[in-house]
Chains A and B, each alone.
Chain A
Amino acid sequence: MLGVLAGTFFVLQRQIESNAVTGIKSDLQATRQMVADLIEERGVRLNELGKAVVGSELMRTILTDATLDRLTSDDIVLNEIMPSYPQLSLLSAVDNRGVVRACNPLGPNIISVLKLNERLKSGLNGWTAHGFFRMDRSYHQIIAQPLMIGPPERREMLGAVILGMAWTSRDLAKLRHLSGADIALLADDGIVSSAGEAFGSPTAKERPDILPTEKLALIPVAVPEMHTVAGERYLFLRIESRAESGMPTFIVAKSLDAQLGFVNDIRQVMLEFAGIGVVVSVVVSFLMAMGIARPIQTLTAAARHVANDNFGIRVVVQSKDEFAQLGDAFNQMIEGLRERDLIRSTFGRYVDREVAQRLLERPESLRLGGEKRDVVVFMADIRGFSRLSEQLSPEQTVRLLNRYFAHIIRIIQTRGGVVVDFVGDGILVLFDPLESDLDAMAAAAVNCAFEMQGRLAHVNAEMTADGLPSIAIGIGLNAGPAIVGNIGSEERAKFGIVGAEVNLTQRIQGEAKPGEVVLSATIYETVRHMVRVNKEFRCELKGFRQPRTLYAVVSVDEETGFSLF
């Protein structure tokens, strides 16, 4: 927008400048005409004054009376005649032999002036002649008018009367006032007198800013020429002089920059408007950006809260635009997430979080039915819990169990196990090699068992501090094929594992003494490198025909009770 305005202003400025130049050229031509008219008008005036002076008896007396001395004649000119003609700067009488009979004291050696001026010289030959001559810092426009006597058919010349009017700085100032153009009278040795800044101050001796005389003398007569004076652009025009009459060169000039002053004012106003526009644009942009950024910041902050499982937050967008719609959609999303989280957290308390997560992530797994695959089955049980519980109140029992399960479930989850079921004080855990092989899951399960046994000392310390009795657990592990899936009806179902290996695991766990971790042969073979066998024994297990070899193991790092892995 500003660019368009600036461009428009630039084009307008060029157009205005062009028009101003044309106007100034026209003004300068008019000024030239004015100068010419004034010269002619002064010529006419001098002619009239000349006729009046020539008709004076005193002037005839000066020219005819041989008895009059020069002093008296000069006195007549200065004190008797000139007071009647205050416009005159020069009055002189020359007889027909070329002898000056009288002259006002301000006049120069008029004869030498006349001799230098071809046109004025003819004034001594019976014809009226016009011309100029220079005296100090002013020019004089003069006329030489013959004084004739006799009847009309034969007018005899007694002599000539020379009259002059000065072209002073004041005259130039008046011309400047009338025409609006600066003006100067130029001689070979420089400016004689001037009016206007284009030619500097007439009183200043040093005028380095103005154009030198040689440049002024070359200024064209027909078309104005542009020059810069003191940082200001002027158009100059020379008025053709008539050298034979001694007429000086007139130079007229007019300032283009002064003419374009109003454009500069407009430019200033436009710059101010542009500045205000920029400020307003910035403010409006800032406000608009804030209008956009604020809802985004609100949504971003809400998203962070949601990422931190804070679903209680609500987004409030105070507008009626798309951001409000986005805020509503965001709120709906948070509501959905909140419900999902509620389901997940609630579900996770009753089923393993891993299972719940899996069910939520893979909805197809919700379908009833299972899959038979090799898994690691893990069972732990508090030894002597029935007898122990009889000694405890129900609250203590529940508190004891909760404390115990809180510890071991965390370990199970850390090790990648899935709590499938609780059976009283016992717990059934599945290590399902969905994303890893069975060996890795077996190792994880064994390590889980070792960690649980190791953690028990810490749990018992807490129990003791809480006024609860110490406990000991037995853990049994087995690996083998089992059916993993959803078991139940459409209305109610549960995730579970079934199969002979599950039952076998239960029996193995039953063989574990307090503090022992007992492995089936299947899993032992898998993890033997990481365990030390405390006891290898063969026993018959209920529900299984063949006796089984079992291994009571400890971690190779028995001291700590923690796995090396």
Chain B
Amino acid sequence: MRIALISLVLLLTSTLSQASDIEGKVIVMDKSGQSPLNSNAHAIVYLEGFSTEPTGIAMMDQQGKRFIPRLLAVVSGQPIRFSNSDIYQHSVFSPHAVEPFDLSRFRQGESRTAVLREIGPHTIYCNIHQDMIADVFVVPNRYFSLTDDTGNFRITDVPKGDHRLRVWHILGGSAVRSLNVGTETLSITLKLRSRKMVVEKPKAPQLSPQDTPDDYDKDSDY
């Protein structure tokens, strides 16, 4: 009850103090630091140093032998529901050093729930399908954002004041930036260097307006 009251006070305070947004772009380089990845997605940008109560249930599905999404952000203590949309059985386990869990196998349509509190990435795997991997990133508060393919992110309604912003990417790249959030929207760019190797499929060719799919068909003759 006390926590809920404090949260309400903070929310009202930020509203009253005209909280602003943090937006920006995260560029993720490969392990060599020489080339950007094809996609800048799967990075989480969040603020450290204070907590908020979690709300709602986070969802992680398993479809086509993949965890969806690849990176799930949850506020510490927020229940996570792992569902199975595949026709196969799946399991979910995490070999986390502090907070490991194993949800054993469950069938299509079934789901399991887990709650994680340890801040940071919890990599999860399926015991049955070796290639399945995902990360559940536990953040301390609701001020976080996940990047899209281009690396853009936006954290809204960030209270005024000094904050520490952290970025983490699923390939291990991370960065920390101290910010002073005022009334204006803050725009920052962050560049990460991956710690893990990744092999990406080449980007699909972008069709220019004058091109037609037939042209590519012709090219494919080569």
Contacts and interface: CB of A to CB of B under 8 A. Distances in A.
Interface in A133-173: 146, 148-158
A97 B31 CA distance: 11
A55 B129 CA distance: 10
A20 B100 CA distance: 71
B1 interface: no
A265 interface: no
Nearest to A59: B130
Given A55-B130, A149-B131, A150-B131, A155 B198 contact: yes
Given A57-B127, A60-B125, A150-B133, A126 B199 contact: yes
Nearest to B100: A67
A57 B130 contact: yes
Contacts of B66: 151
Given A149-B131, A151-B66, A96 B95 contact: no
Interface in B177-216: 195-201
A222 interface: no
A146 B199 CA distance: 11
B45 interface: no
A459 B146 CA distance: 176
A106 interface: no
B96 to A, nearest CB: 7
A156 B171 contact: yes
A156 B201 contact: no
A61 interface: yes
Contacts of A155: 198-200
Given A57-B127, A151-B131, A157 B197 contact: yes
A157 B95 contact: no
A54 to B, nearest CB: 9
Given A96-B196, A96-B197, A156-B171, A64 B125 contact: yes
B130 A156 contact: no
A476 B196 CA distance: 165
A65 interface: yes
A125 B31 CA distance: 8
A157 B196 contact: yes
Contacts of B95: 61, 64-68
Interface string B103-126: 000000000000000000001010
Interface string B65-82: 010000000000000000
Interface in A75-97: 96-97
Interface string A43-62: 00000000000010100110
Nearest to B95: A65
Nearest to A147: B130
Interface residues of A, number: 25
Contact of A97 (B127, B195, B199): B195
Contacts of B125: 60, 64, 149
A95 to B, nearest CB: 10
Contact of B196 (A61, A65, A152, A156): A156
Interface in A395-411: none
Secondary structure type dominating chain B contacts: loop
B136 to A, nearest CB: 14
A146 B31 CA distance: 14
B170 interface: yes
B72 to A, nearest CB: 15
Nearest to B38: A154
Nearest to A153: B201
A66 B97 contact: yes
Contacts of B31: 125-126
B133 A149 contact: yes
Contact of B97 (A67, A96, A126, A152): A67
Interface string B33-64: 00000110000000000000000000000000
A148 B171 CA distance: 12
A157 B198 contact: yes
Given A65-B95, A152-B201, A96 B130 contact: no
A154 B130 contact: no
B197 A154 contact: no
Given A126-B199, A154-B200, A149 B130 contact: yes
Contacts of B170: 156
Interface string A116-136: 000000000110000000000
Contacts of B130: 55, 57, 60, 149
A65 B199 CA distance: 22
A146 B171 CA distance: 15
A125 B33 CA distance: 12
B26 to A, nearest CB: 16
A148 B199 contact: yes
Contacts of B171: 156
A65 B93 CA distance: 10
A156 B198 contact: yes
B67 to A, nearest CB: 10
A126 B201 contact: no
Contact of B197 (A55, A57, A64, A146): A146
Taking each of B31, B127, B197, B198, which has the highest tally of chain A beta carbons within 10 Å of its own beta carbon? B197
Nearest to B134: A150
A219 B132 CA distance: 53
B197 A126 contact: yes
- Sorted nearest first, the 3 A-B pairs with minimum C-beta distance are A126-B197, A65-B95, A157-B197
Given A68-B95, A96-B197, 18 more contacts: A64-B123, A66-B95, A67-B95, A67-B97, A67-B100, A96-B196, A125-B32, A125-B197, A126-B197, A126-B199, A149-B130, A150-B133, A153-B200, A154-B201, A155-B200, A156-B170, A156-B171, A156-B196
16 contacts: A57-B127, A61-B95, A64-B95, A67-B95, A68-B95, A96-B172, A125-B31, A125-B32, A126-B198, A149-B131, A154-B199, A154-B201, A155-B200, A156-B196, A156-B197, A158-B196
Interface of A: 55, 57, 60-61, 64-68, 96-97, 125-126, 146, 148-158
